[in-house]
């Protein structure tokens, strides 16, 4: 193929859509097809990963694009290794977030709420919205080049996942691990539903802080609207300031709506150092107050309704919004002389719903909970769900242990587990998995229905109960309950749990073949939300870990390190970037420099740089395309030192990239591969090839290079493969991953071209140091083995070093006005006659060396001064040490230059 037959620039728009269609139609995303077509063997090791299901609430952002780039790179690598590789895709119904989105649209467009529709009418609206979002997300996943197995796509609210949810709920219910109880929960008055502890987002807010007279005590609060029912005053039992008061003592005092009787409670939960060390409690609207009331069996009364308005207990303030009533209540207290003082600059954290932004109001409500501390028997010993979650990660050295990358997040995981409370799993919304519990009034002996006070019949089952009169619980389950089953519900559980057979192809055997999954890759921000709950569900329901390794990626930030947000105007749409620069550029910008647990910076400059590298790879293909079209896929025999050097570097880069990918060190693999491609191959071997041609090795090396790049840059590498037909595979995606023999030379037969490259670099540095015209060719002299080495590589050496003549030295006496350049045993004397004035240069370098040494001594004296070392800021001392190291290095370089002038 002629170079002119290949377009000058790679155009992603010409390639990406048709290549993805080709991949998808090939069936190779499906591991069963890979086995059928001989790409993978039936007894090959497996690699499995589930896609963290994006919420069907809109479109994918840069964080999702990073997730797809990381996972696809890993998946493509393992597929090329010939493993049975499954990447299972899906989406999450995201109950609260999706319903909130639809309700917002209906309210904005139609001025209605969900209560203006029947439950089924409203759910049909939500399902339509979710389907549109799903289709948009699936399109975006394809645009990023993600090689997921679409034939196994799942949805957390489809029929199969619904069966899994009902099965899991019933088992936990039957085992006593799911219970219903009146406990304090996080209530969102706006969305009218409970919210889990992990979905609470705390925001700093400046407000007024009130100090109020409560009988003989001074109490403090930021929420006086909750104080109507306060009839308990609590203090630490060891607080000497209140030693005169007895636990249970009654005190008569004036309060908001008139005189009340308060009871003294002594409890160690009170912090004596906060405020006055005494407080009143509102058990219905505060978690800590609720726990104190539970310990002492105190009464609790609801002050704020579920609509966020004050109830009848507030008297004249009943029916008012709590925020609007606050100042009116303070006015009442002021009139009564019960306001001691007001702090105008109090800053505290306010709990909001991360899913909708609404303010959270703690409420006591009958809800469904998962008991994480309740014991049950497992393998002859008593365990809890919390202990199963902890042991899954804590079993150091065990084959069953889950590895978390990076390791420091294990401490975060354990801290969360150790402080885990019972999980509230019921939500007062319509969209989601409805709780599989039904109720009906029992019939009394005379045939009448039982009253509310009499016992109600309860049924929990996978299917609805038979008979009349049953009503299903109206609540739905927390989204994380269904997504906690994701690693095995997507693989056929529970339907295939008993019939699955390891080693056999087909989705019906997926559970046996691919679970536990090999890897879970997700953001560190959902370590608690999702990762921990998957461990809980899999350990309890399957008796095994859900995955071997957890890879936690960081947040994607802008080029200045700021979080991306619409308000800052710094968001980057992955599809917009792909449209302009190509998906490969977007992927590379997200992968380069991206290490587990660390945030990644994404900027336009970085994206453009990666687009330029894409073009560099394409231009290399244009050059290679001018060579013979025949390729020996085994490494051709080297003909020269440059060939031997390339083969050695090829071995090393294959080994290094493979090692880093096995360790999920994608960024390290990319940096090493980019340095090799741009440096060793493009800058050195291709330039050498122009005068010392070995077409077979050039094409062979480029074949290896595009295979190594394929996981990271699938589109451009597949386009190159289709254009040049380098590999023996029809599709690069399933070409064999490179394996390379060690061709490293022994010490006795040192790689001569590696030494020669150092000499060439030395000559280039001399040109820069002495400002020699780049077009001017120079002369070198060499002696013995060095002269022989330069002669044997004369064409390459002359081209790359811009040398006109290589002169033979009959003795070791250096030529006059020459500069010695040495690498190992290889020596070259660069003639500088008529090029530079040696005496002037020697004087200039000597003066510069003297100044540099003097400056180094001044820095040494400064660091040796105890006054500076002890009093200066640590950063300043460190900077001075670094400057001293740089100065010493510069002095050494100048000495070498001086010593080389002969």
- pLDDT tens-digit readout, 778-829: 999 999 988 999 998 899 999 999 999 999 998 888 888 888 888 888 899 9
Please return the burial class of 22, using the count of CB atoms within 10 Å of its CB with bins 0-12, 13-18 and 19+: middle
pLDDT digits (tens, 9 = 90+) for 98-116: 998 998 899 899 998 888 9
Q: Residue 426: which pLDDT band, with cuts at 50, 70 and 90?
A: very high
Q: What DSSP state is assigned to residue 469?
A: S
The pLDDT of residue 727 is 65
Residue 199 clears pLDDT 80, i.e. is over it: no
Q: For the chain, count helices (H), then strands (E).
A: 28, 31
The residue-averaged pLDDT of 565-575 equals 74
Average pLDDT over residues 467-490: 94
Structure confidence at residue 701 as a pLDDT band (50, 70, 90): very high
pLDDT given for residue 35 in this prediction:
93
Q: How big, in percent rounded to 5, are the helix, strand and coil portions of the chain?
A: 45, 20, 35
- What is the reported pLDDT for 449? 46
Q: What Rg value do the Cα atoms of the chain yield, rounded?
A: 36
* φ and ψ of 523, to 5 deg: -75, 145
The DSSP secondary structure of 711-771, one letter per residue, reads TTSHHHHHHHHHHH--SSSSSGGGSPPP-----PPPSTT--HHHHHHHHHHHHHHHHHHTT
Higher pLDDT pick, 504 / 685: 685
* Average pLDDT of the segment spanning 516-523: 95
pLDDT over 70 at 875, yes or no: yes
pLDDT value at residue 542: 95
Map residue 91 onto helix, strand or coil.
strand
Q: In this model, does residue 571 exceed pLDDT 80?
A: no
State the DSSP H helix or E strand holding residue 351, giving kind and residue range, or none if neither.
strand 339-353
Q: What is the mean pLDDT of the segment spanning 710-717? A: 98
**What is the per-residue pLDDT for 746?**
46
Contact between 32 and 640 (Cβ < 8 Å): no
Residue 900 confidence class, pLDDT cut points 50, 70, 90:
low
User: What does the alpha-carbon distance between residue 629 and residue 155 come to, in Å, rounded to a whole number?
Assistant: 47
Q: Looking at the predicted structure, is the pLDDT value of residue 728 above 90?
A: no
Predicted confidence at residue 566, as pLDDT, reads: 65
Output the pTM of the full model: 0.81
Mean pLDDT score of the chain, rounded to an integer?
A: 88
Cis peptide before 594 (omega within 30 of 0): no
Res 396 pLDDT > 70:
no
User: Tens of pLDDT along 262-288?
Assistant: 999 999 989 988 888 999 988 888 888
Bigger pLDDT: 39 vs 750? 39
> Which stretch of 37-41, 227-231, 630-634 has the lowest confidence by average pLDDT?
630-634
């Amino acid at each position: 193929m002629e170079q002119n037959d290949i377009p000058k620039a790679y155009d992603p728009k010409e390639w990406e859509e048709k290549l993805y269609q080709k991949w998808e139609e090939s069936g190779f995303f499906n591991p069963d097809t890979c086995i059928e077509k001989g790409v993978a063997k039936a007894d090959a090791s497996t690699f499995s990963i589930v896609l963290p299901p994006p919420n069907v609430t809109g479109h994918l952002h840069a964080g999702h694009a990073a997730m797809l780039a990381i996972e696809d790179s890993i998946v493509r690598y393992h597929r090329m290794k010939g493993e049975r590789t499954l990447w299972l895709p899906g989406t999450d119904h995201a109950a609260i977030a999706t319903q909130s989105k639809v309700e917002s649209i209906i309210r904005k467009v139609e001025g209605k709420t969900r209560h203006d529709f029947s439950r089924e009418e409203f759910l049909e609206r939500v399902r339509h919205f979710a389907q549109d979002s799903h289709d948009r997300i699936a399109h975006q996943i394809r645009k990023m080049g993600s090689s997921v197995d679409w034939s196994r796509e799942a949805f957390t609210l489809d029929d199969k996942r619904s069966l899994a949810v009902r099965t899991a709920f019933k088992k936990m219910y039957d085992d006593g691990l799911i219970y219903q109880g009146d406990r304090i929960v996080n209530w969102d008055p706006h969305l009218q539903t409970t919210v889990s502890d992990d979905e609470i987002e705390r925001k700093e807010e400046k407000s007024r802080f009130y100090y109020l007279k409560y009988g003989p005590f001074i109490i403090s609060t930021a929420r006086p609207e909750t104080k109507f029912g306060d009839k308990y005053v609590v203090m630490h039992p060891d607080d000497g300031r209140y030693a005169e008061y007895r636990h249970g003592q009654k005190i008569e005092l004036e309060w908001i709506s008139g005189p009340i009787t308060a009871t003294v409670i002594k409890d160690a939960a009170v912090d004596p150092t906060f405020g006055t060390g005494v407080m009143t409690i509102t058990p219905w609207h505060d978690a800590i107050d609720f726990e104190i009331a539970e310990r002492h069996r105190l009464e609790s009364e609801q002050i704020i309704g579920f609509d966020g308005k004050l109830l009848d207990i507030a008297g004249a303030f009943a029916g008012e919004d709590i925020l609007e009533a606050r100042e009116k209540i303070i006015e009442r207290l002021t009139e009564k002389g019960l306001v001691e003082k007001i702090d105008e600059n109090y800053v505290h954290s306010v709990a909001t719903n991360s899913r909708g932004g609404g303010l959270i109001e703690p409420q006591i409500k009958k809800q469904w909970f998962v008991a994480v501390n309740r014991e049950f028997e497992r393998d002859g010993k008593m365990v809890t769900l919390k202990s199963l979650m902890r042991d899954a990660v804590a079993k150091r050295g065990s084959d069953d242990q889950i590895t978390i990358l990076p390791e420091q997040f294990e401490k975060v995981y354990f801290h969360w587990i150790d402080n885990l409370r019972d999980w509230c799993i019921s939500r007062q919304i319509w969209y989601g998995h409805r709780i599989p519990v039904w109720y009906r009034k029992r019939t009394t002996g005379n045939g009448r229905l039982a009253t509310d006070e009499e016992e109600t019949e309860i049924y929990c089952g996978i299917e609805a109960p038979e008979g009349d009169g049953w009503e299903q619980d109206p609540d739905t389950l927390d989204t994380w309950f269904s997504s906690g089953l994701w690693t095995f519900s997507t693989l056929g559980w529970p339907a295939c749990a008993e019939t699955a057979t390891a080693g056999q192809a087909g989705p019906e055997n997926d559970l046996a073949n691919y679970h536990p999954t090999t890897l879970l890759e997700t953001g560190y921000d959902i370590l608690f939300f999702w990762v921990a709950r998957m461990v809980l569900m899999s350990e309890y329901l399957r008796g095994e870990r859900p995955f071997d390794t957890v890879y936690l990626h960081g947040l994607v930030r802008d080029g200045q390190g700021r979080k991306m947000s619409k308000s800052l105007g710094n968001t980057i749409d992955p599809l917009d970037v792909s449209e302009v620069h190509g998906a490969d550029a977007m992927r590379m910008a997200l992968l380069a420099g991206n290490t587990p647990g660390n945030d990644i910076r994404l900027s336009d400059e970085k994206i453009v740089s990666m687009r330029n590298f894409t073009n560099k790879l394409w231009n290399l293909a244009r050059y290679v395309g001018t060579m013979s079209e025949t390729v020996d896929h085994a490494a051709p025999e080297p003909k020269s030192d440059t060939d031997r050097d390339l083969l050695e570097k090829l071995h090393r880069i294959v080994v290094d990239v493979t090692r880093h990918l096995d360790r999920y060190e994608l960024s390290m693999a990319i940096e090493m591969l980019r340095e090799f491609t741009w440096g060793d191959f493009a800058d050195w071997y291709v330039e050498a090839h122009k005068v010392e041609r070995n077409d077979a090795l050039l094409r062979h090396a480029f074949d290896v290079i595009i295979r190594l790049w394929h996981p990271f840059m699938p589109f451009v590498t597949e386009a190159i493969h289709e254009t040049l037909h380098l590999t023996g595979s029809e599709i690069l995606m399933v070409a064999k991953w490179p394996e390379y023999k060690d061709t490293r030379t022994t010490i006795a037969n040192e790689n001569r071209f590696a030494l020669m490259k150092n000499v060439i670099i030395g000559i280039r540095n001399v040109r820069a140091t002495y400002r020699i015209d780049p077009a001017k060719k120079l002369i070198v002299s060499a002696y013995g083995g060095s002269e022989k080495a330069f002669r044997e590589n004369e064409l390459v050496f002359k081209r790359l070093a811009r040398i006109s003549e290589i002169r033979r030295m009959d003795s070791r006496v250096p030529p006059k006005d020459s500069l010695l350049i040495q690498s190992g045993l290889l020596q070259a004397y660069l003639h500088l006659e008529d090029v530079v004035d040696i005496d002037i240069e020697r004087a200039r370098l000597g003066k510069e060396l003297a100044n540099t040494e003097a400056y180094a001594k001044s820095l040494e004296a400064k660091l040796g001064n105890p006054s500076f070392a002890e009093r200066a800021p640590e950063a300043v001392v460190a900077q001075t040490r670094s400057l001293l190291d740089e100065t010493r290095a510069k002095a050494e370089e100048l000495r070498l230059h001086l010593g080389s002038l002969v």
